[in-house]
Amino acid sequence: MIATRPLRWGLALALALGCSLLCGVALANTAHDDHAPRGKAKSGKGAPVETEVQRLVHRYDSAQVVVVKQQLCLLAAACVTDEGRLLDAMETVRVVLQTLAERAQAGDADAAYERGLLSLRVAQSHAGRSWAETDAQFPGTTSILRRRWAQETSTAQQFLSMAAATGHPQACLVLAEHLASRVPQPEPKLVSRLFRCAVAGFTAIGNRASAVDAFVKMRDTVRPNDPLMIETHSLIYRNTLPDRPWRQVEPAEALAVRKQATP
């Protein structure tokens, strides 16, 4: 007799997957709003216009929401599942990922960044599910999830590295944070270079808020005496006037101050 997973465990895992995915979609949309891609076009009225890469990402997010909803429906007795809609959504996910990968291989830095970011989101979802998996009847589930996490993490690093090699500031920042989260850090010099790449890239496109945000993250991660830390600090503040700039002191005023300081 084949053992079956209790319904409550399956429902709990599906809910965890659904919540992690929907939260990932919301966080990704927030990240897109905070750091708009460099290739983002403008309409005649100045309103932002979606690029082809952004449209692909939104298609992916919408399809993933459909997949999760249909998977949750499978576990509810009163819910009628639309298998055709589920399969169509899964096919949309596959096509979008393949299209982004092809554009990335052709040299599209934004597509490489988005493809890497999607894999990183999936990897984080697998990592969370592996920690939540506690069913002793299926001990191999955790191993499968961790193997999938390793595969998606490797894919994310591959595409993020492709975008970072072109100086894409968002890719540099995401990859730097990802590598910096490892304990111990395998490549601290690479992390420093990636943070500097992010600050320099945001500064070059005039996005000072994102540049300062990247520098703050670098300051919290990199050693204070790191040469690249000092260089990046000067890059941020070299053209910024101090709040209380020095003023010229007249000779008579300087003489009076010296007399007061003489014992």
pLDDT digits (tens, 9 = 90+) for 246-262: 555 567 766 776 676 65
Q: Identify the residue with better confidence: 131 or 162.
A: 162
Model pLDDT, residue 139: 65
Instruction: Determine, yes or no, domain membership for 66.
Output: yes
Both 106 and 225 in one domain: the answer is no
Model pLDDT, residue 142: 73
Question: By C-alpha distance, which of 132, 103, 130, 138 is closest to 118?
Answer: 103
Instruction: Determine, yes or no, domain membership for 256.
Output: no
Identify the weakest region by mean pLDDT among 101-115, 166-180, 222-236: 222-236
Single-letter amino acid, residue 39:
G
Contacts of residue 118, defined as CB under 8 A and 6 or more positions apart, other chains included, come to: 57, 60, 97, 100
42, β-bridge pairs: 48
User: Domain boundary at 113, 144, 163, which?
Assistant: 163
Q: Identify the residue with better confidence: 199 or 48.
A: 199
pLDDT mean over 177-181: 92
Model pLDDT, residue 219: 92
Both 129 and 208 in one domain: the answer is no
pLDDT (tens digit, 9 = 90+) per residue, 81-116? 778 888 899 999 999 999 999 999 999 999 999 999
6 preceded by cis ω (within 30°)?
A: no
Both 55 and 26 in one domain: the answer is yes
Both 54 and 96 in one domain: the answer is yes
- Which domain range does residue 56 map to? 1-40+47-163
Q: pLDDT band at residue 39, thresholds of 50, 70 and 90?
A: very low
Q: Cα-Cα-Cα-Cα dihedral of 48, 51, 54, 56, to 10°?
A: 150
Model pLDDT, residue 154: 92
User: How many Å apart are CA 82 and CA 71, to the nearest integer?
Assistant: 10
Both 5 and 117 in one domain: the answer is yes
Both 123 and 90 in one domain: the answer is yes
Model pLDDT, residue 178: 93
Q: What is the largest CA-CA distance in the chain?
A: 101
Model pLDDT, residue 116: 95
Identify the weakest region by mean pLDDT among 13-22, 107-116, 142-151: 13-22
Both 138 and 177 in one domain: the answer is no
pLDDT mean over 212-230: 90
CB 250 within 8 A of CB 233: no
Identify the weakest region by mean pLDDT among 3-17, 66-80, 92-106, 196-210: 3-17
User: Domain boundary at 113, 131, 163, which?
Assistant: 163
Instruction: Determine, yes or no, domain membership for 113.
Output: yes
Work out the end-to-end distance of the chain between its first and last CA atoms, rounded to an integer number of angstroms: 98
User: Domain boundary at 113, 136, 163, which?
Assistant: 163
Both 133 and 154 in one domain: the answer is yes
Contacts of residue 215, defined as CB under 8 A and 6 or more positions apart, other chains included, come to: 195, 199, 232, 233, 236
Instruction: Determine, yes or no, domain membership for 65.
Output: yes
Structure tokens at 120: 């990183």
Instruction: Determine, yes or no, domain membership for 203.
Output: yes
Instruction: Determine, yes or no, domain membership for 247.
Output: no
Both 112 and 94 in one domain: the answer is yes
CB 130 within 8 A of CB 149: yes
DSSP assignment of the chain, as one string?
------HHHHHHHHHHHHHHHHHHHHHHHHHHHHS--TT-EE-TTS-EE--HHHHHHHHHHHHHHHHHHHHHHHT-TTPPP-HHHHHHHHHHHHHHHHHHHHHHHTT-HHHHHHHHHHHHHHHHHHHHHHHH---TT-THHHHHHHHHHHHHHHHHHHHHHHHHTTT-HHHHHHHHHHHHTSSS-S-HHHHHHHHHHHHHHHHHTT-HHHHHHHHHHHHHHS-TT-HHHHHHHHHHHTT---SS---PPPHHHHHHHHHHH--
Both 156 and 221 in one domain: the answer is no
Percent share of the chain, pLDDT over 90: 40
User: How many Å apart are CA 119 and CA 149, to the nearest integer?
Assistant: 9
49, β-bridge pairs: 41
- Work out the mean pLDDT of the chain and round it to a whole number: 78
Both 131 and 176 in one domain: the answer is no
Model pLDDT, residue 57: 94
Model pLDDT, residue 147: 86
Both 130 and 2 in one domain: the answer is yes
Model pLDDT, residue 135: 58
Q: pLDDT band at residue 195, thresholds of 50, 70 and 90?
A: very high
Whether the pTM exceeds 0.85: the reply is no
Instruction: Determine, yes or no, domain membership for 31.
Output: yes
Instruction: Determine, yes or no, domain membership for 28.
Output: yes
Number of domains in the chain: 2
Residue with tokens 């079956």: 4
48, β-bridge pairs: 42
